[in-house]
Amino acid sequence: MSARHLISLDDLTDTELYALVERGAALATGAARPAPGGPLAGLVTGVYFRETSTRTRTAFSAGALRLGGQIIGYGAGDLQTNTGETSEDTGRVFSRMLDILVARTAGETAELRGWAAQRRMSVINAMSAREHPTQGLTDLTTLLARFGRIEGLRVLYTGEGNNTAAALALGLTRYRGTTLELRTPPGYGLDPEVRRRAQAHARAAGSVLTEHHHMADPPGGFDVVYTTRWQTTGTRKAHADWRERFEPFRVTDALWEGNPGAVFLHDLPAHRGEEVTAEVLDGPHSLAFPQAENKMHSAMAVLEWCAASLRLPVRDDGGLRAA
């Protein structure tokens, strides 16, 4: 039995995706509790972040501890890669000492996939340049906990087509009858490859994915309004006047004229007055802070899933993992 990895939501089968979201929602609502004895008892999780993080780092650290595991934390300046050691050698060492590695590189996923090219240690992508898969699971968990279903929900996303938007597109479109409409500034839409993959999911599931680059006709009839901060971690904007390009996509109370029953989601951190007004973020429609808490419940679901794959002996270069 090989270690399970989560580098992209596309690495999951539909069955795995649905099960992780259902488990996260069950933990979030109190309908389920971690298994007695701790699913991570006897396992060590490395938490490695090159970029800043509040929610994701805390979620996986707290989640591993709540599941009975032990953690080792690493910052951007802690590893010998800063003195010339190759990433490949670092990954080989990690896999002989850690059971699970949660890593935020904010770069491309090739490095993470290199670390995952072994059978002993699970690797979890805590955010890369193109996708934030654990945020996608958090968002789906929040929807399921709030509505009791995901099928048929209509979600409006405004702002940059960043890694959070990518994960949302790759996850939500796999649920039957859903609608995801993205309103993104010109030049700041979904990555074309992400859009292609999400459209393929949409065709298979009978869901709808659309993207427009204006806010001239405020859309209505949605169950969810979602935005993220305009200054995505680890990225730079291509245009000097990017703030002016983003201004029309700010979420204000006016959006609720056509969406009176919609809830509001934000992956945080938020900049009140930029991508969203304080009245919306702190108002009665907002689920932003329960959504942040659900990151821990989603993290626990992923950690349990990975731990289940680590409980049998695995041979690798002559080594044997104890069961």
Can you give the residue ranges of every domain in the chain?
A: 9-131+296-318, 134-292
Query: Tokens standing for 118?
Result: 């072994």
Dihedral sign for Cα 40, 46, 50, 52, please.
positive
Instruction: Check residue 36 and give its pLDDT.
Output: 84
Which helix (DSSP H) or strand (DSSP E) does residue 123 occupy? strand 122-125
Distance CA 140, CA 147 (A): 10
Would you write out the chain's pLDDT as a tens digit for each of its 323 residues? 699 999 999 999 999 999 999 999 999 999 999 988 899 999 999 999 999 999 999 999 999 999 999 999 999 999 999 999 999 999 999 999 999 999 998 889 999 999 999 999 999 999 999 999 999 999 999 999 999 999 999 999 999 999 999 999 999 999 999 999 999 999 999 999 999 999 999 999 999 999 999 998 878 999 999 999 998 665 678 888 899 999 999 999 999 999 999 999 999 999 999 999 999 999 999 999 999 999 999 999 999 999 999 986 544 444 434 33
Q: According to the model, what pLDDT value does residue 145 have?
A: 98
**Which two tokens mark 21?**
């979201």
DSSP helix/strand/coil, 14: helix
Q: What is the pLDDT of residue 315?
A: 47
Fold designation for 9-131+296-318: Rossmann fold (3.40.50)
* Strands 263-266 vs 179-183: parallel, antiparallel or unpaired: unpaired
- Residues 192 and 164: beta-carbon distance below 8 Å: no
Block residue for tokens 């898969």: 133
Amino acid 120: pLDDT: 95
CA–CA separation, 298 and 16 (whole Å): 13
How far is Cα 292 from Cα 298, in angstroms, rounded to an integer?
10
- Alpha carbon distance, N-terminus to C-terminus of the chain: 11
Residue type, 101: L
* 9-131+296-318 and 134-292 in the same fold: yes
Predicted TM-score (pTM) of this structure: 0.94
CA proximity to 300, closest of 126, 59, 82: 59
CATH 3.30.1490.20 fits domain 134-292: no
